[in-house]
Amino acid sequence: MDIYTKAVKPSDIEIPKNSVADPIFQTSVYSFKEIDEVDELLGGQREGYSYTRGGNPNYDGLAQFIASLENAERAVVTSSGTASLLAAILALQPKPCTIYLPREIYGGTVGICRRILGPMGYNTQWVDTHNLESLRNSLSESPSILIAESISNPLGRVSPLRDVIEVAHSAGCLVIVDNTFATPFHANPLEWGADLIVHSATKFIGGHSDVVLGLIAGSATTIRVVQEIVDVAGFTPDPFASWLALRGARTLALRMERASQNALTLASTLEGMRGVDRVYYPGLRSHPDHDIAKDLLGRGFGAIISLSLKGGYNAVQEMIHRLELVRFVPSLGDVTTTLSHPVVASHRELSEEEKQIVGIDPSIVRLSIGIETVGDIIHDFEQALS
Ligand code: PLP
């Protein structure tokens, strides 16, 4: 063989099966000798891997992890939380229908419904998931889907989701629960009757701000449909991102335990702190959904706190300048404590009027609490707000 051929010739090293850490299958495709084998793999008659858009051991490892933690029959990994939301909607209702959204929901979810699905004929309507009577009267369209968050972005609203799902189902409406904020550490919405759960694994599941990924969990039958959409539409993630996320996810329970304890301590302290107008954390008695959160969530109340500052936008900007430990990061779920500004980041999709109805204005910041020593986070806010 000449040097050009030797240089590209694959090695014949056998891949060991007993490595303690999962190997990274950073390959877009596999090689075969038998045409029939490829035919059967692509046709779904045989289990295995052929082309990575349709499956990869690293996605499957992460999918198995989330299925186990969510007590789901199966799960699928996608290229982002946003792709998961879209794939979940298309799997449940592939033809234009009505999508019901609570007012308080991640702005990107509103964006998917209005900007992608709206022109395809889907119609979006706001509903109140805190008032079951009003919800019952609103759910008049069929077919339809309700999308709710187990802990909402950004004000930590917790709807009585067991009852909400029952009301939706009795109106023939399917339910997707975005479990990104609660994570399976605090909530398993399939147990409340949700038809599908989605996660932005970019956040707490990955936990280290180094991947953008999504997850969907549900029954084997529904996930089979989701899997086909992910494959055909190409919503598949990169193997290395899945590997990184699973590596991060191994400490999810420990991180969430620590972060939600930190969040409760910090939220209580912030309530009395100079310059703070209001603190929104479902673990506080002052939160409008505290009792529902106590009933619905387990092991605490999550790691997201929102607060409004008395001095409005200027005070928020000043606080960001003065914080030394806590960084302004338009995301959440990192091992460090970060903050974001919903009106310019997560909820910029909403009109001024819609933001006002939801109750988010430029004075509001959303904190994502990390696993540091809580005294250090408190000290940073004290010195910045003083
Ligand atoms: N769901 C929630 C609650 C989110 O906060 C986000 C992003 O911030 C998403 C979904 C979308 O996730 P991704 O950014 O991974 O697409």
Share of the chain above pLDDT 90, in %: 97
| pLDDT (average), residues 322-347 | 97
Q: Whose CA is nearest to atom 12 of ligand 1?
A: 81
In angstroms, what is the span from residue 318 Cα to ligand 1's centroid? 27
Whether residue 121 is predicted with pLDDT greater than 90 in this model: the reply is yes
Q: How confident is the model at residue 141 (pLDDT cuts 50, 70, 90)?
A: confident
252-385: in CATH 3.90.1150.10: yes
Burial 328-339 (b: 16+ CB within 10 A, else e): bbeebbbbbbbb
Q: Which two tokens stand for residue 47?
A: 């289990």
Domain residue extents for the chain = 35-249, 252-385
- The per-residue pLDDT of the chain, averaged, comes to 97
The tens digit of pLDDT for each residue in 64-105 reads 999 999 999 999 999 999 999 999 999 999 999 999 999 999
In angstroms, what is the span from residue 38 Cα to ligand 1's centroid? 36
In angstroms, what is the span from residue 43 Cα to ligand 1's centroid? 33
The tens digit of pLDDT for each residue in 167-206 reads 999 999 999 999 999 999 999 999 999 999 999 999 999 9
Residues 376, 382: Cα–Cα separation, whole Å: 10
Of 87, 84, 114, the C-alpha closest to 99 is 114
Atom of ligand 1 lying closest to residue 181 CA? 3
CA-CA-CA-CA dihedral for 215, 210, 185, 100, to nearest 10: -40
Pocket perturbation via mutation, ligand 1, pick of 177, 203, 339, 347 by most ligand atoms within 8 A of CB = 203
Whether residue 137 is predicted with pLDDT greater than 90 in this model: the reply is yes
Strand 196-200's sheet: what is its strand order? 74-78, 214-218, 196-200, 173-178, 144-149, 98-102, 123-127
CATH architecture label of 35-249: 3-Layer(aba) Sandwich (3.40)
Tell me which residues have their CB closer than 6 angstroms to ligand 1: 80-82, 106, 108, 149, 153, 178, 180-181, 200, 202, 212, 214, 346
In angstroms, what is the span from residue 80 Cα to ligand 1's centroid? 8
The predicted model scores a pTM of 0.97
In angstroms, what is the span from residue 82 Cα to ligand 1's centroid? 6
